[in-house]
Structure 1
Amino acid sequence: APRAAVRRLPADRLAPLLAGRDIAAHLQGCDEGLLLAVTLGAGVDGALRRAMATDMAYGVVLDAAASTLVEQLANALENEQRALLEREGRYLTGRFSPGYGDWPITVQPAFVQWLDAGRQAGICSTASCVLTPGKSITALCGAADHPVKGKLAGCATCALRDTCTKRKEGKPCAQ
């Protein structure tokens, strides 16, 4: 079953999680951070394993559908939090997840712990920083009392910069 976790923290309490220039740039001008996590749950992992073992084509389609669904859940949670903050006269950046730009995926265990995502949503991080259940997303948004956009990570720090087709076409995703 889908589950979620949310935690608001003052920006100065986020320092242990903020390794890298890109996340700092994304949160520039923000006085608060909003830690988010969503998951489809362990049942989806089991269904994906069974599908891949019995019908690879179906398994691939099911995996893509589950990825789309967890992304939609993350969008819905972000939009819900944005609406709540707007009622307080506050503004929210978009989501920024561990592994984006130069924000290392190695912050994932601390992120999950700070969010208490294990208890709240059943999400854990393995020793290799992979989230379980597999169809899970963690992210951080910045909040402020004035409009903020955040800043997308650029090509210079992207792990896919050498193979990115968007960059090769002259249409980088961080425009």
Structure 2
Amino acid sequence: MGSSSVITPEDVLESLMNDGTIDALRLKIINQLKANEELKNTTIKMAEQSKVLNTSGAEKQTKRELFDALRQELETPVLEMASKSVWELILDSNGLGKEISETVERVFCKLSGREPPLFPHSNDVVLLPGKAVGDEKRKGKEKDCENEKENSKSKSKKRSFNDMNAEGSATDITGKSSDTPAAPHDAN
């Protein structure tokens, strides 16, 4: 199998930081944000409709005063839009998000002495008798694999949703659960 030491998420992150991968990914994200025309156009529209720039006397302010006031007005909404765009890039299962996942998996495998891929990614449509299982089910399975991968890398033991459901079924049978308080015997 692999080496006997446990590889933590911090170990993987440190390796990615040391070999320059984080910087390369950050640069790709920045370049994709810069190329995002919708983000640019929305930001320009927000600036054009800005209260700071459209109030009387704005033309008498210095560039620095205008910039500071404009920043105070628009910084939060623009950063929220940019943040949303970054998360869309990171979570994109076909583009940069896929590259990030594969890179993290490759580094984890290298550090742990395992052979990639840990979880084979099937891009083929699975054919069943009379049916083709399409993207929805495949994406669900990929999400399950990602969750399992995340759980296996974590130092703390996290239970998967399926494990919790299985435990929930067991507690239904026994009638005991540590998560729910016992019903009062006699409230009168």
Query: TM-score with structure 2 length normalisation?
Result: 0.23
Q: Which has the higher contact order (CA 8 A, sep 6+)?
A: 1
Which of the pair is proportionally richer in strand?
1
TM-score (norm 1): 0.24
Task: Tell me which structure has the larger Cα radius of gyration.
Answer: 2
